[in-house]
Amino acid sequence: MSVNQKATGFLAEFRKFIARGNVMDLAVGVIIGGAFKSIADSLSNDLLMPLLGLLTPSGLSLSGWTIGPVAVGHFLDTVLSFLITAFALFCLIKALNVFHRKKEEAPAAPPAPPAPSKEEILLTEIRDLLKERS
């Protein structure tokens, strides 16, 4: 097997891997996750942190906290942003699960009655014939 055949086989295998549904779903999830992260960061930095700052006497600002050369405050801001993102995703997934559960529990249409047996059909014909005579 030549190097060219190995490369072609490798590329074909890679194309097959990329075309699988799981990879596409993962790509969409990563893109949506990136967009959701910006929303969660804004929620944390623009809404929650200023509100927490109003509740504390000196005004809470974690980003300025340092221990020597280590920016502890920025790390704490990042952890808080992660926790907010994780909590928001948890709430979103929980709501979706409730929605899907209700959708699955919705009553299905009643099954169609079984078709009449040969005997029932024959008896029906006999009944109809007797009605015609009388």
Contacting residues for 53 by C-beta, under 8 A, at least 6 apart: 59, 60, 61
pLDDT at 6 > cutoff 70 = no
Return the residue matching tokens 């009655």.
Answer: 113
Highest mean pLDDT among 51-60, 80-89, 112-121: 112-121
The strand pairing partners of 67, in sequence order, are: 70
Please answer whether residues 53 and 59 qualify as being in contact, where contact means their C-beta atoms are separated by less than 8 angstroms.
Answer: yes
* Per-residue pLDDT tens over the stretch 78-106: 888 788 778 877 888 898 888 888 777 76
Instruction: Quickly count: other Cβ atoms within 10 Å of residue 84's Cβ.
Output: 18
Lowest mean pLDDT among 18-22, 37-41, 126-130: 18-22
